[in-house]
Amino acid sequence: MSPKVTVLLVIFSLHCHITLASDPDPVQDFCIPNTRSGTVRTTQFDILPCKNSIKVTPEDFVFSGIKSPGNFSDTGLSVVPVNPTNFPGLNTLGMSLVRADLKVGAINAPHFHPRATEIAYVVQGRVYSGFVDSANRVFAKVIEKGEVMVFPRGLVHFQMNVGKLPATIFGSFNSQNPGNHKIASAIFGSGINDELLEKAFGMNAKQIGMMRRRFIPKSRVRS
């Protein structure tokens, strides 16, 4: 391909990373994104053209990737988010899901999803599970296999495996991109001005420094 055409292709690719601006009602039956590798880099937020519906198959609407847990963190947590980037059939349908596994004693630290309510279904285990409302009250309870808890949209919530066996949770969201803001990282791992953090949390410079070291990603510290 000639250099000029290549340039054109690059420009085009940039331009077509048009972002989806909403989780509105679908006006077509479905839209399986056309993600032929090598052509367009796919990110979670792109609107991709729909695959020609002739080429859509039943497999596009089935997801088999959460039959077992994902990789566990050092702290014993595994989270597998499932959204149009790995399950294209969800695209434009206003829902997504997640599988979370917690080893005994492990936590899913306080976080919130700015764009979705979550329904958490306990597949196995016993989990202390709760959220904080805007009046700073905690609604928390130990829930177990077969029980469901709902976390209202935008509220900080958390989980801890308080059982004697691993726990598995199946969560579903009413957005194809619910977002996930982790409190500790957002506050101490993001680079907010030290003085402001000291005043906000009543900590001294040394304490803030310790929190920073804990939550700033190593990759960023090095650079």
How many CA within 13 A on the CB side of residue 83? 20
Place of tokens 């803030």: 208
Please report how close the Cβ of residue 172 comes to its own copies at its closest, in angstroms. Answer: 4
The rounded distance, in Å, linking the Cα atoms of 116 and 179 is 8
Please report how close the Cβ of residue 24 comes to its own copies at its closest, in angstroms. Answer: 3
Query: Nearer to its own copies by C-beta: 149 or 167?
Result: 149
Please report how close the Cβ of residue 17 comes to its own copies at its closest, in angstroms. Answer: 4
Query: Nearer to its own copies by C-beta: 165 or 199?
Result: 199
Query: Nearer to its own copies by C-beta: 47 or 166?
Result: 47
Query: Nearer to its own copies by C-beta: 97 or 100?
Result: 97
Please report how close the Cβ of residue 113 comes to its own copies at its closest, in angstroms. Answer: 9
Contact in structure between 97 and 120 (CB atoms under 8 Å): no
Determine if residue 17 is labeled as part of a ligand binding site. no
| SS3 of residue 19 by DSSP | strand
Query: 187-213 b/e with 16+ CB inside 10 Å = b?
Result: ebbeeeeeeebeeeeebeeeebeebbe
The rounded distance, in Å, linking the Cα atoms of 95 and 176 is 5
Angle at 35 between CA 33 and CA 41, to 5 degrees: 120
Query: Nearer to its own copies by C-beta: 89 or 125?
Result: 89
Determine if residue 111 is labeled as part of a ligand binding site. yes
Please report how close the Cβ of residue 140 comes to its own copies at its closest, in angstroms. Answer: 6
Determine if residue 181 is labeled as part of a ligand binding site. no
Determine if residue 15 is labeled as part of a ligand binding site. no
Determine if residue 108 is labeled as part of a ligand binding site. yes
List of residues 6+ apart from 79 with CB closer than 8 A: 70, 98, 99, 100, 108
Binding site members for oxalate: 108, 113, 118
Binding site members: 108, 111, 113, 118, 157
